[in-house]
Amino acid sequence: MDRLAILSLATLLTFLNVDNALAVNASAGTFAVSQRCEAFQSFKNKTNPGNLAVEPGQTYPIAEVNREQFQWVRVKVGSGKNNLRWVSADCGEVDGLVMSEAGAQACRVPDKYDSYVLAVTWQPGFCEHDRGGPAKPECKAMKSGALTVNHFTLHGLWPNKQACGIDYGQCNGAELNLSADTVDYIKPWMPNFHYGTQFGNYEWKKHGVCQTAMTDDAYFRFAVDLLKSFNDSQAGEYIRSNVGGEVSREQVYSKLADEFGSKDARNNFLLICSGDYLEEIRVSLPKDFKGERTLKGVIGQAFLPRQATDRSECRAERIRIEASGAGA
């Protein structure tokens, strides 16, 4: 089996076993049930052999939670060997929860990532329509007309560990100490750097320190290069040529398919919207960059077996592309 097939199989198995992949062991804690709820063998697939349920007034020791910021708890329901079941945390009250040391720290260990996510922002859409946008100094400058941004910008490059879901990050590592040349290289593509390095420092401490293959200078320069390659791609040019108007979601994916030579390329891209307005595009990347510095080179043919989902993903066929300072 070739390397790509192994990668695809491993990714698929992660999706299929997502309940256990995200589990974090608990060394203490109880779950007091306040309403009747189903007890699932797999909460993702909603499987419930035997139609088991928990009832109000029952209290169970917690074996696992689905991640540190949990939505599901795993408890023993009945005496059968397959009766360790997942119950929604909304169905009761958790008390005294303590994560096992291994479980609590597993998502904060550097170099345990199995992939990356590149997040690129459509800055005008973010500034005008995201709840946190207007307070940003670059957004204030765009609204006043002091700054114009008409290209994609860098949100971040995130080492990713499938077993941790969205919780892999905040590893121990060196402080951010960028050279002046690197700051100048970043500024046009991460406009918060015009006003300081607070956001860059946040991204480095949360994500960058979880990889040690690159220094902070190399990490940010590489992220900018990947961003620029998307900005100049067929899909990026299509979006930028329709500022102040609309694009077709399917046309964006079609242009990605043309660029990468496969319709499966869409599986590595997720469009994020605020309402009908484009805010961000997230790109799934393999762990090994192979010495490449463009998205096409890094991804190659390593396409995911299916597209990720997000509650903020763009669902409408027509997506609006905000212009810089449009809310002024």
Predicted confidence (pLDDT) per residue in 226-284, tens digit: 999 999 999 999 999 999 999 999 999 999 999 999 999 999 999 999 999 999 999 99
Out of 41-45, 95-99, 239-243, 319-323, pick the least confident: 95-99
- The CA-atom distances, in angstroms, between 300 and each of 15, 31, 276, 294 are 21, 46, 31, 10
Q: Which residue has the tokens 């960059």?
A: 289
Instruction: Read off the pLDDT of each residue in 67-75 and give the average, rounded to a whole number.
Output: 81
Out of 45-59, 70-84, 241-255, pick the least confident: 70-84
Prediction pTM value: 0.72
CATH 3.90.730.10 is right for the domain spanning 109-320: yes
What is the distance between the alpha carbons of residues 122 and 141, in angstroms, rounded to a whole number? 16
Average pLDDT taken over every residue of the chain: 89
Write down how long the chain is.
328
Residue that wins the pLDDT comparison between 294 and 23: 294
What is the distance between the alpha carbons of residues 29 and 180, in angstroms, rounded to a whole number? 49
Given phi > 0 = left and psi -120 to 50 = alpha, else beta, which region is 319?
Answer: beta
Return the pLDDT at 14.
37
Residue ranges of domains in the chain: 19-105, 109-320
Confidence grade of residue 66 (pLDDT, cut at 50, 70, 90): confident
Return the pLDDT at 82.
67
Confidence grade of residue 11 (pLDDT, cut at 50, 70, 90): very low
For the structural domain made of 19-105, what CATH number should be given? 2.30.30
The predicted-structure confidence for 116-144, as pLDDT tens digits, reads as follows 999 999 999 999 999 889 999 999 999 99
Six-digit token string for 70: 């949990």
The predicted-structure confidence for 147-203, as pLDDT tens digits, reads as follows 999 999 999 999 998 877 778 899 999 999 999 999 999 999 999 999 999 999 999
Alpha helices in the chain (DSSP H): 3-16, 18-21, 101-105, 123-129, 137-144, 180-186, 198-206, 216-231, 234-240, 249-260, 295-299
DSSP one-letter code for 166: T
